[in-house]
Structure 1
Amino acid sequence: MSRQLMTTQNAQAPQTQESQQQLAQQERQLRMPPVDISECENEFVIEADMPGTKEENIDVQFHQGELTIRGKVDVPEQSSDHYRFRQFEPTDFYRAFRIGESVDATNISARYADGVLTVHLPKAETLKPRKIEVARK
């Protein structure tokens, strides 16, 4: 996507020791999945790394020119008496992209495999390159 076409909105806590402690005390962590964004002739492709997320816990929406990706990783409840150290926590993923009217919203598709969500955003006809024939006199 062109630089002007897409901006990301990221929810991120300030990087202070106090905010990290508050974040650790919350029941669920909010994380931004890392993404790769590529542009082909007919579409844009977003690949989001969301390991541990089940397909049924992923929500992709496009509304008023904004694509949002949400996901949830649940950790089975087990007695904490047996753990000496545990870092697996319930986690929510969230990422939003301001795309505008540059895509064909009716044909957006998404697929989740091997921990990676791939979203295909077909370009709107107005963005696709068009060859213009030059007429002879």
Structure 2
Amino acid sequence: MLAVIDENNCIGCTKCIQACPVDAIVGATRAMHTVMSDLCTGCNLCVDPCPTHCIELRPVNETPDSWKWDLNTIPVRIHSRGTTCLNYFPLSEKIKIWDFDGGIHPPEMKTQSNGTPLRQGAF
């Protein structure tokens, strides 16, 4: 979700600016305000304080550019007993892995299906 201000009805009261926890709204007193879409988190805290009800939240089509990337975790593909899933682990945590053919697998899998041993690693 993304906050959008109807600029024709904005009176420049700055109540939305004061309510925004990430400073995604810019403008001056008695001047039109606007939302910086790359900073807006869609938290909805700016909507209720607006006396003219000119702010609404609209859904955002997610693209690689609009996606809010989580840079504190790492995706890890785990394959076990014929099932593959994707888990996310904190970067602050050391993870023991077994890697072969570009995949990451749980430690209980000691060999590939062709009998080749797995390479162990950690990050």
For this structure pair, what is the TM-score category when the shorter chain's length is used for normalisation? under 0.3
**Higher RCO by CA contacts (8 Å cutoff, separation 6 or greater):** 1
TM-score, normalisation: structure 1: 0.22
The TM-score with structure 2 as length reference comes to 0.23
From the two aligned structures, give the one with the greater strand fraction.
Answer: 1
- Decide which structure has the larger Cα Rg and report it: 2
Per residue, is there more helix in 1 or in 2?
Answer: 1
